[in-house]
Structure 1
Amino acid sequence: MTKFNHKVYFIILLLSILTLTNACANNNAKDDDDYQECLKLRQKFDQIKLADFTQIGKNHVGIYGKGGTTLKQAKKILGKPKSVEKEDKGKTYIWQAGKDYSMVVEVQIVHGRARYKLTQGFKYRRPKDKITLQKYKKLPRGLGYQKIINEFGKPDEVISGGFWSQWYHKNRQEIYYKTDIQGKHESNATITLSIVDNKLFKKEISY
């Protein structure tokens, strides 16, 4: 290879490296923008409060919500919903965020108030050792919800409220942690915790 060709080769190689570096930086920046967008929606989700639908209506006809977030308040917190699904007992309002709208927040409104809510498609950025198999195994039944949060942080995904058939329970929820715990096939584990009256009722880990 001639001296000239050596120089040309070096310049092309340098330009290729710079191009790839910029591309990776752009991808990282885009991923960070997506994460921040989803994080904001996840934080707003926590502001939605569920109504108490255990109160029987007049003459025991119908069940009407007491307290909780109204539709107007939900829109003020979460913004304009992407879509609405009509149901027998009310409507479910859907918000989305992130790349390809992969993160979803749903709020069911019955008699003008929030009856259940869920969020999925999100994972907090946390140190890998924040949630370990050893820590999971030590979680005892009856552990307080706040102690779980103190140990693991806020859950990535949540299903909360009156969607357990006719036996409505305002203070029941399923919370999910997407972990870095690896199984036999190198798949990361998801921890599911059932919370009733702010205490751990049941725990499960799946790969």
Structure 2
Amino acid sequence: MTGTTKTAGTPEAESSRHVSFHGDAELARRAAEGDTGAFGLLVARYQRPMAALISRMTRRSDDVDDIVQELFLRAWRGLPRFRGESQFSTWLYRIAVNTAIKHKQKSKSELLQALPTEETGGGLEQLKASEETDPVTQAQRGERERLLRDAVMRLPEKQRVVVQLHYFEGKSCEEISQIIGCSVGTVWSRLHYACKRLRSVLGESF
């Protein structure tokens, strides 16, 4: 056969199939050396979580794809400087947060729109009290969720970022400290004052 198709069982096909099993660090190393296939696998792994994060931070659903594209372009350009001192995911989250903040600075007039409901399921459980499921309570909960999302977006940016990363993204304070480049104590402090501020705005029932 003279064709160039990668037939199952050939070294080329086996290499392509096995690369998907490599961890982030190995794929990042390959990508930094110019392996676009390795970078494509990293994009495939992180595209959805990055899109969800950016959607929550910017609340501009029409622009999410463009911002995600900018994020991965910045990551691709920055990979030669990635030394593996933190996990690749932490490094990527840092770029995502910075990209989203940069974008928001260009569109401050739209910061107070409500977050999409489907993007926030399970967030900020520690600030919610009701666990009942009857229709009336469900309706009340929906309104509470809306008020909560609006209140989160009214937080000062530094507090809002740690709230979103901790409660919506499930990141630990240690991870957040690496993502935003501050001490763990600073993260705890921002979370404390953010929750205190939310309760003062929304009432103790939250």
**Fold shared, TM-score > 0.5 on shorter chain:** no
Which one has a larger percent strand, Structure 1 or Structure 2?
1
Which one has a larger percent helix, Structure 1 or Structure 2?
2
Asked which structure has the greater RCO (Cα within 8 Å, sep 6+), the reply is: 2
Q: Which has the larger radius of gyration?
A: 1
Identify the TM-score tier after normalising by the shorter chain: under 0.3
Q: TM-score, normalised by structure 2?
A: 0.21
Q: TM-score, normalised by structure 1?
A: 0.21
